[in-house]
Structure 1
Amino acid sequence: MEIKLLIGYLFATIVGITLGLIGSGGSILSVPILVYILGVEPILATAYSLFIVGTTAIFGGVQKAKQNLVDYKKVLLFGIPTLLSVFVTRRIIVPNIPEILFSTSVFTLHKSVFIMVVFAIVMIMASVRMIKPMPTEIKEEYQKLNYRKIFFQGILIGLIAGFVGAGGGFLIIPALLFLANTPMKKAVGTSLFIVAAQSLIGFIGDLRSDQILDWNLLLTFTACSILGVFIGSFLSKKIDGNKLKTSFGWFVLAMGVYIITKELFL
C-alpha cells in the first residue's frame, strides 16, 4: 500500500475519533484529506465525504441512542427540511455550476477552486463554533419551539452540507440548543442522526450513471473512520471533550486559512 494511502487512512481514523469525542467537527476534515492527501478531485471528494460522514455518524448515533441521548422528534423536525435541501443541492445546484465561474487575463476561477474556497470558509465558521465555549446545559426558560426558524435553519444547514460535503454538526448543535431547547448531551446524539440522514441522502442525490466511484478507497476510508468513532467514544470517558474541542477548533481554523491561501495564491 502506498504511503499516501496509509497516511490518508490514519487521518480517516482521526476523523472518527474526533466525532466520537466531541460529536462534530471531525467530518470537516474529510474533504481536505481526500483532496490533498489521497488526490481525489474536489467535487468528487465532497460526494465521498457525504458517504463517509453519513455512515460514520450512524455508528456514532447508535452509541448515543444506547445511552438514551437522542431526541427522535427533533431528528424529524430538523431532518425533513435538511434532507430536502441537501438532496436538491447535490442533484440540481452543484451539477449546474459552470466549470469556469469567472475569468480575466490574469485569473480564472474554476468550479473546483470555488468549492474548496467555500469549504475553507465553512471550516473557519466551524472553528469559531468549536473555539467558543458552548453551554453544558440550557435553562428551562427557553421553552417554545420556533418552527419557522427551525425550518429555515434546516434548509440552510442542508444547503451548506450538500455544497461542501460536510456534516453540518457545528450548525445543527447550536440550533438544537437554542431553537429546540435541547440539553447539550442530547443535542450531540440528536445531531449525529440528522447528520447521518442528510449526508447519505445527499450522496444518493449525487449518484449518476456516468460517475465512476473508487469504492475500495471509499469503503476503506469509511471503515477507518468508523473504527475511530468507537475509539473516540471510549476515550470520551477519560478526556475532557470541551478542552479537546477548543484545541481542534484552532487546528481547523489553521486548515481553513491554509486552503484559502493554497487555492487562491499558491
Structure 2
Amino acid sequence: MIWIIGHLLAVGIGISLGLLGGGGSVLALPVLVYVMGVAPKNAIAMTLVIIGTVSILGLIPHWRAGNVWLKTAYIFGSATMVGAFLGAKLATLPFITDAIQMLLFALLMLVASLLMIQRSARPKKTDDIIPYPKPVCKYCWLWLMSEGIVVGTLTGLVGVGGGFAIVPALVLLGKVPMKAAIGTSLLIITMNAIAGFIGYWGHVTLDWGLMLSFILAASVGTILGGYLSGFIPAARLQKSFGYFVLAVAALVLFQNRDTFWQWYTPKNAASAKVSLQSRV
C-alpha cells in the first residue's frame, strides 16, 4: 500500500511539472523521505535524478512550441550548475546533517508557498500564468547569473529544483515571456539536477529501482499535466498549490522539531550546571 501511495504521489509530481513548470521537488523529497523511508541525503540525490529526468520529458512540448530560449538558459544555467555542484559538495560535509537539510528545505518551501499565494492574489491583466511586474532593468545578465549561483547552491544543498525562483528570475531579469520562462526553466532545472547529482556521486547510496519506478510514474504525470494545461488555467492552481506547499513545509518542520530541542537543550543544561555550581 505504501508503494502504491508513493507512486501515486509521484504521478502528482509529474502533473505539477507539466502544469506549472516546477514544484516537483517540493513533493518528491518529502515523499521519498516520509513515505518511502529513504534517508534524507540519499533522497535529495535521488530527487535530483527524478526531477532532472522528468523535466527533460516536460521540456519536449515546450521545445516544439518554441518556448525554450537557449541563450538565456546557457547564461542562467551555467551559473546554476556551478552553484548546484558546490551546494552538493557542501551537503556532504559532516556538519551538514540530515535534519539541517530538511529544515532548510522546509524554510525554503515556506518562503516559496507565501510567494505563490501572494502572486496568485494579484489581478491578472495578461495571458501570463503568473502575474509579474515588468522587467526591472535593461541589462540584467549579471544579476541573473548571481541569482543563478544562489538558486543552484540551494538545489545542490536541499534538492530543490528551483522552479519557484527560476521562473520569476527569467521574467524579471531575463525579460523572458511567461510561457518561454516556464519552458526554459525546465531546461535549467535539468542542468541543475545533473550538476548537483555529480556533486553527490560517491557520497550517497542510491536505490536505482525506486528511482526508475518514480521516474516512470512522474513521466506519466508530466504527460497528463501537459495535456491538462490546455484545458485548466494554471492561475487557478497557483493559489491552491501554494497552500499545499505551505502544508508540506509545516509537516517537514513538525517532523524535525526535535532538532530545535537538541540545539536548545545543551544550552539549558550548561546554564543549569553553572547555576548548581554557584549554589554549591
Q: Judge same fold: TM > 0.5, yes or no.
A: yes
What amino acid maps onto 1:244 in structure 2? L
Q: Write the distance in 2 (CA, Å) between the matches of 1:258 and 1:191.
A: 27
Q: Which runs of 5+ in 2 are unaligned?
A: 260-280
User: Mind listing any 5+ residue stretches in structure 1 that lack a counterpart?
Assistant: 100-110
Contact 1:46 1:165 in 2 (8 A): yes
Aligned counterpart in structure 2 of residue 118 of structure 1, from 104, 110, 117: 104
1:119-158 Cα offsets, whole Å, 9 max, x none, are 1011112212322226627787756231221111010000
SS of 2:210 mapped into structure 1:
helix
The correspondence of residues 154-169 of structure 1 with structure 2, limited to 5 A, is 154-169=148-163
Q: Counterpart amino acid of 1:169?
A: G
Are 1:191 and 2:185 an aligned pair? yes
Tell me which residue corresponds to 1:257: 250
Asked if 2 retains the 8 angstrom alpha-carbon contact of 1:19 and 1:27, the reply is no
Quickly say closer, same or farther: Cα 1:265–1:93, change in 2 above 3 A.
closer
Q: Contact between 1:65 and 1:189, CA under 8 Å: does it hold in 2?
A: yes
* Alpha-carbon distance in structure 2 between the residues aligned to 1:231 and 1:94: 34
Aligned to 1:83: 81
**2:63 aligns with one of 62, 65, 68:** 65
Residue in 1 aligned with 2:52? Answer: 54
Confirm or deny: 8 A CA contact 1:82 1:157 kept in the other structure.
Answer: yes
- Tell me which structure has the larger Cα radius of gyration: 2
Query: What is the root-mean-square deviation in Å for CA atoms of aligned residues?
Result: 1.8
Q: Distance in 2 between matches of 1:128 and 1:218?
A: 30
* Greater mean alpha carbon deviation, residues 232-241 or residues 142-151: 142-151
In structure 2, what is the Cα distance between the partners aligned to 1:229 and 1:117?
A: 28
Corresponding position of 1:174:
168
| Matched position secondary structure for 1:180 | coil
TM-score if structure 1 supplies the norm length? Answer: 0.89
CA distance in 2: counterparts of 1:188 and 1:144, whole angstroms:
21
Looking at structure 2, the residues matched to 138 and 41 of structure 1 have their Cα atoms a distance apart, in angstroms, of: 37
State the one-letter code of the partner of 1:132: Q
Partner of 1:240: 233
Contact 2:14 2:221 in 1 (8 A): yes
1:73-93 deviation digits (Å, cap 9, x = unpaired)? 100010011101101221x21
In structure 2, distance between residues paired with 1:147 and 1:133: 24
Please list, as runs of the form range in 1=range in 2, the aligned pairs for 1:4-15 lying within 5 A after superposition: 4-15=2-13
* SS in structure 1 at match of 2:160: coil
Match of 1:212 in 2: 205
* 1:94 matched residue in structure 2: 91
Aligned mates of 1:61, 1:97 — CA distance in 2: 36
The match for 2:267 is none
Measured in 2, the distance between the counterparts of 1:115 and 1:139 equals 32
1:36 paired to 2:30: no
Alpha-carbon distance, 1:40 to partner: 0.2
What TM-score, normalized to structure 2?
Answer: 0.85
Match of 1:229 in 2: 222
| Residue type at the aligned position of 2:222 | V
